A and B are shown apart, each in its own frame.
Chain A
Amino acid sequence: MALNVLIVDDSPSMRKVIRRVLMLSGFDVASCQEAGDGIEALAILATAPMDIVLTDINMPNMDGEALVERLSSDPLLRQVPVLVISTDRSEDRLKRMLALGARGYVTKPFMPQALGAAMDKISKEARDARAGL
């Protein structure tokens, strides 16, 4: 089942790298959209169904923490698994993001295999959600 992926990061080059890793890792991606911050991400999510959201934390306008909080509080959007990809390695931040509803956390810099493994886990959840399981 091909998945619709939303990549949220204020760095265009990082969005490109993530997109490339997804493609090279062989994930069945139906569509891949990009947003530069949480506000843009919510605008996309309001109009297009997404199966997975990959988000940075430190972003202008609306950061990743606020975005995850908003998604978790929405009855429909809370079903969409979120993977955090961030330079922040602190235990406090990791626990906080998972407590807010993120399903996984990858730290930058990352080896492509690490992102691939995290996506493997989350994409299974996304497919189960699509199948109503």
Chain B
Amino acid sequence: MPGLDYEVLLEAAVAEVLESMCFLSVNPDISSEEESRTIWVNRRVDFRGPTQGSFGVAVKLPTAILIAGNFLGQEPEELTELQACEVVGEIANMVCGTLLAQVDPQAPFHLATPRAEEQSIALPNRITRSFVLDEGALFAWLELN
């Protein structure tokens, strides 16, 4: 939709989800860049409605495990990689829903089940924001069709 500052909306949505569900404080970071040699947990949610597209969240695996520990109320060492990845998917789901509610509060959107994203985080047609958490960096991206 024209006239919307998606980066600002993205920041607000990420902050709301991480603060309320994971009890994490998050700050936007303009300096982080994707490190190609690092293992990233990158999950995407495809959505359709008045606007169609995809949304994603990416974190390094150790960060995913720490976030998952906060989300589930468990110690990181109790969690598997699979559980951490699933939590990142659910975080992506909630941030996407929160973001879309800001884009068009009246319109119902359909969100697909989160899935692994194979592509690089920062593609030319994506709006990308990076965030700093105590637990590590988090990238959020939005791609509109």
Contact = CB atoms under 8 A, between A and B. Distances in A.
Contact of B73 (A10, A20, A111): A20
A12 B114 CA distance: 12
A16 B79 CA distance: 13
Given A12-B83, A13-B68, A109-B98, 7 more contacts: A16-B72, A88-B108, A89-B97, A90-B101, A90-B108, A108-B97, A110-B20
A78 B83 CA distance: 35
Interface of A: 10-14, 16-17, 20, 58, 60, 86-93, 108-111
A109 B72 contact: no
A17 B71 contact: yes
B83 A13 contact: yes
Interface of B: 16-17, 20-21, 68, 71-73, 83, 86-87, 89-90, 93-94, 96-98, 101, 105-113
Q: Is the interface of B mostly helix, strand, loop or mixed?
A: helix
A60 B113 contact: yes
A87 B95 CA distance: 9
A15 B20 CA distance: 16
Nearest to A114: B20
B20 A90 contact: no
Contacts of A108: 21, 93-94, 97
A58 B111 contact: yes
Q: Which of B16, B86, B112 has most A Cβ within 10 Å?
A: B86
A10 B113 contact: yes
A88 B68 CA distance: 23
Contact of A13 (B20, B86, B96, B112): B86
Contacts of B93: 11, 87, 108
Nearest to A92: B108
B73 A87 contact: no
A116 to B, nearest CB: 14
Nearest to A16: B72
A91 B97 CA distance: 14
Contacts of B17: 109
B13 to A, nearest CB: 9
6 contacts: A12-B86, A58-B110, A87-B96, A90-B105, A90-B107, A108-B93
